Amino acid sequence: MDLMHHHLQALQKLKANTYNKDFLLTWEKTAAEIEALLLVAEILSELHQQKKSLRTFDSGLAISIFRDNSTRTRFSFASAVNALGLGLSELDEVKSQIAHGETVRETANMISFLAEVIGIRDDMFLGEGNKYMREVAAAVQEGFEQGVLHQRPAVINLQCDIDHPTQTAADLLHIKNHFGSLEALRGKKIAMTWAYSPSYGKPLSVPQGIIGLLTRFGMEVDLAYPEGYELIPDVIDLARANSQASGGQFRIAASMEEAFENADIVYPKSWAPYQVMERRTELLKNNDRDGLKALEKECLVNNARFKNWECDETRMKCTRGGEALYMHCLPADISGVSCAQGEVSKGVFEKYRLQTYREAGYKPFIIAAMIVMTRIRNFQEKLAQIIA
């Protein structure tokens, strides 16, 4: 039996109630549904590698709404919907009637008449991004129930203020394949650590997504950050509960060195302090440019206190066998390359550069898998027909 049929056979044993459901937070999905997501993504990836068609739709539109800059996620979404047979339309809010007072409820319905999926990236405003996605979801649900829409498009979180499901699911698939299986991750240690960046305001969603997802698979998850760089308290509580339920461990370490000690995986990534993001949201809402400039100056000064939080060769020697898997969602702040001093040394990044590209390469297939699972009722049967 080839690998594709092996994955299909494993997929058919899993119960996944995902049809007509949105994909907004990984922890809203069951462990079986997460496992199914990975299997569908692997099947689609293998089809593509074998130059076989992934087309599952005869027509339809995929809408993307990017409220922040993006390279990997934007092109991954475009690639995924094109491969599945959908057309892509990006909603430019500046060129739409939103500037003239059109409501979220109205916009959501107007863009959805023939839409299958709406992908949204909204990570700038703490407390607002995921809320906006749910507002869009509620609007299209009402449109469908009232007969305005013939079908209800699924809403997929392409990154919000709380979670980055397409990234963290791609990360999980990367480490699953690196270590051989999901079961093999049990007891493996990952260090999710803050790292210095010469910029401020980076979202909390990647570290939160990592601790919210990987704690579900019996892993030892160490979170490390300088004083004041806390994450959303509810997500910390979630990680602790997940870890207890899965038989893993979740710890908050005092330093990068402590987190790296005997780690199998390291994920050094900058993020803004939770309290700073709260302040930033209020300033953005009020269009307080002077306040934003003052906050940025304050935060850059504070960041500079922790320039020694860098993933370098010395710290990597502390990991298991000195050969932990380095991960990053990209783009990384590379010391001596993209900045004078940043998250990771030039030598460490170059050693793992192609691995990080492979990590990113899972994202189009994760997004495609989310679309297939949310929009096709019997997606297992559909995949079996495509493979045959």
CA 155 to chain centroid, in Å, comes to 14
Sequence-ordered alpha helix ranges (H) in the chain: 3-12, 31-49, 72-84, 104-110, 129-145, 165-179, 205-214, 233-246, 256-260, 274-285, 289-303, 313-316, 346-361, 363-375, 379-387
Query: Does the pTM of the predicted model rise above 0.75?
Result: yes
Q: Would you state the pLDDT for residue 125?
A: 87
Cβ-Cβ contacts under 8 Å for 59 (sequence gap 6 or more): 85, 86, 87, 114
**Torsion angle, alpha carbons of 80, 153, 128, 170, to 10:** -30
How many of the other CB atoms lie within 10 Å of CB of 387?
16
What pLDDT digit, counting tens, does each position of 165-178 carry? 999 999 999 999 99
What pLDDT digit, counting tens, does each position of 324-354 carry? 999 999 999 999 999 999 999 999 999 999 9
Measured distance CA(153)–CA(160) in Å, rounded: 19
Q: Would you state the pLDDT for residue 1?
A: 55
Q: Would you state the pLDDT for residue 99?
A: 63
Band of residue 93 on the pLDDT scale cut at 50, 70, 90 = confident
Measured distance CA(16)–CA(19) in Å, rounded: 8
Asked whether residue 148 carries a pLDDT value surpassing 60, the answer given is yes
Give the percent of the chain with pLDDT over 70. 99
Measured distance CA(46)–CA(308) in Å, rounded: 42
Pick the CATH number of 3-163+363-387 from 1.10.390.10, 3.40.50.1370, 3.40.50.720, 3.30.70.260: 3.40.50.1370
| Cβ atoms of residues 5 and 46 within 8 Å | no
Asked whether residue 100 carries a pLDDT value surpassing 70, the answer given is no
Q: What tokens were used for 306?
A: 């922790």
Q: What tokens were used for 6?
A: 């092996």
- What is the SS3 assignment for 251? strand
Q: What tokens were used for 97?
A: 């009637």
Band of residue 356 on the pLDDT scale cut at 50, 70, 90 = very high
Higher-confidence residue: 202 or 317?
317
Q: Which of 23, 55, 16 is nearest to 209 (CA)?
A: 23
Q: At what angle do helices 205-214 and 233-246 cross, to 10 degrees?
A: 20
Measured distance CA(143)–CA(274) in Å, rounded: 36
Average pLDDT over residues 235-261: 98
Instruction: Mark 247-274 as b/e (b = at least 16 C-beta within 10 Å).
Output: ebbbbbbeebeebbbebbbbbbbbbbbb
Q: At what angle do helices 165-179 and 205-214 cross, to 10 degrees?
A: 50
∠239-120-219 over CA atoms, to 5°? 20
3-state per-residue secondary structure call for 125-174: CCCCHHHHHHHHHHHHHHHHHCCCCCCCCEEEEEEECCCCHHHHHHHHHH
The strand order across the sheet containing 61-66 reads 87-90, 61-66, 115-122, 154-160
Domain boundaries, given as residue ranges, for the chain? 3-163+363-387, 169-361
Measured distance CA(238)–CA(123) in Å, rounded: 20
Asked whether residue 82 carries a pLDDT value surpassing 60, the answer given is yes
Asked whether residue 101 carries a pLDDT value surpassing 80, the answer given is no
Q: Check if 3-163+363-387 and 169-361 are the same fold.
A: yes
Band of residue 360 on the pLDDT scale cut at 50, 70, 90 = very high
Q: Would you state the pLDDT for residue 309?
A: 98
Its CATH class, for the domain covering 169-361, is: alpha beta
